[in-house]
């Protein structure tokens, strides 16, 4: 008698035992007495393998049990089994999604086993934007280590969560760096930010200012004014201006005085004076009282002496002395 085994759909014939039969081919038994033969039919099993990808870390578990990545990333299940995979990212990581096995998205993944199957779970380290804002009346640049930020070229960079980014501020000529705000930073040294969320930091640069002071000299009086405004001597003989400002000074003598000229700040002569400020600067404006000649001539047939108060004249026949303008 020849026995032939035919498995049902979803099953496999695993083989014969007893009656002198073995293997999976047809079994021929020659009857010489009571005989027992066993035909074994099984449901086939297939491997489900999980691969982890990405820059982050995490764990994948299965229902029914069998897979716990990292402990075990492969297990065998009977054909037709619906295996649900769940991904749990480590602290500081995110689960970005599934691929393979018909799975996608970031939710749970259910695979119905019908053959060897591979599924990839991708875990990433999230990145956050670090943005630098420049504030204040001055200017300057901010750079980062690791690289990514060079203000003004780029005032924002993206870094993986947990990255410690050190920012350094360099003021432009004529400006000073007056400090950080935001992101836990303060002071004027370098600023280190450990990123765990999108972060904005403000770097404040202030334009330097310098005092321009006018000193009046000489025997006369007068007024000095400035363009741009700020100085009106005698009202105000000092004013502060941003570095690099070109200040034009104009001197106007009072009645009975003359303007004798400038000194200091690179100025000279009696015209207007322009000073470009790069440091505290003092300019002297000299006003003088002009002098005029007083001449006494003696006439007549006699003789005598003429003297003056204030002193200076003692005349026999002709005398001359320079007398400052104005009544004496």
Q: How would you write the pLDDT of the chain (328 residues) with one tens digit per residue?
A: 899 999 888 788 888 999 899 999 999 999 888 999 999 988 889 999 999 999 999 999 999 999 999 777 999 999 999 999 999 999 889 999 999 999 999 999 999 999 999 999 999 999 999 999 999 999 999 999 999 999 977 799 999 999 999 999 999 988 999 999 999 999 999 999 999 999 999 999 999 999 999 999 999 999 999 999 999 997 789 999 999 999 999 999 999 999 999 999 999 999 999 999 999 999 999 999 988 888 888 888 988 888 888 886 555 544 445 556 664 4
| pLDDT for position 318 | 45
**Beta strand ranges found along 43-173 (DSSP E):** 45-53, 58-63, 68-69, 74-78, 82-89, 94-99, 109-112, 117-124, 127-135, 140-145, 150-151, 156-160, 164-171
| pLDDT for position 135 | 92
| pLDDT for position 112 | 95
Nearest-Å Rg of the Cα atoms of the chain is 50
Among 126, 130, 109, 127, which Cα is nearest to 118's?
Answer: 109
| pLDDT for position 316 | 55
| pLDDT for position 322 | 53
| pLDDT for position 326 | 61
Q: How far apart are CA 148 and CA 165, in angstroms?
A: 10
How many CB atoms neighbour CB 171 within 10 A? 20
| pLDDT for position 325 | 60
| pLDDT for position 12 | 83
Q: How far apart are CA 202 and CA 116, in angstroms?
A: 56
What 3-state DSSP class applies to 26? Answer: coil
């Amino acid at each position: 008698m020849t026995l032939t085994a035919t498995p049902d759909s979803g099953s496999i014939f695993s083989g014969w035992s007893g009656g002198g039969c073995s293997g999976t081919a047809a079994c021929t038994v020659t009857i010489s007495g009571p005989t027992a033969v066993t035909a074994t039919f099984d449901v086939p099993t297939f491997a489900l393998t999980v691969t982890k990808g990405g820059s982050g870390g995490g764990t994948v578990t299965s229902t029914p049990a069998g897979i716990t990545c990292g402990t075990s990333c492969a297990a065998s299940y009977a054909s037709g089994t619906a295996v649900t995979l769940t991904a749990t990212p480590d602290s500081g990581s995110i689960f970005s999604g599934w691929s393979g096995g018909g799975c996608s998205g970031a939710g749970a993944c259910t695979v119905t086993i019908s053959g060897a199957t591979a599924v990839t779970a991708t875990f990433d380290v999230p990145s956050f934007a670090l943005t630098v804002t420049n504030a204040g009346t001055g200017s300057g640049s901010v750079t980062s280590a690791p690289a990514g930020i060079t203000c003004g070229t780029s005032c924002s960079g993206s870094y993986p969560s947990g990255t410690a980014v050190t920012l350094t501020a360099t003021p432009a000529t004529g400006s000073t760096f007056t400090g950080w705000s935001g992101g836990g930073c303060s002071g004027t040294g370098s600023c280190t930010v450990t990123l765990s969320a999108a972060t904005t930091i403000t770097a404040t640069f202030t334009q330097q200012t310098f005092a321009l002071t006018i000193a009046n000299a000489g025997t006369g009086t007068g007024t000095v004014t400035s363009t741009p405004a700020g100085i009106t001597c005698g009202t105000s003989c000092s004013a502060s201006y941003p570095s690099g400002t070109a200040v034009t000074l104009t001197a106007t003598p009072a009645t009975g005085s003359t303007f004798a000229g400038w000194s200091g700040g690179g100025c000279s002569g009696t015209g207007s004076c322009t000073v470009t400020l790069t440091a505290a600067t003092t300019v002297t404006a000299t006003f003088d009282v002009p002098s005029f000649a007083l001449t006494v001539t003696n006439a007549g047939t006699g003789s005598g002496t003429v003297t003056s108060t204030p002193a200076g004249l003692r005349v026999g026949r002709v005398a001359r002395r320079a007398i400052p303008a104005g009544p004496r």
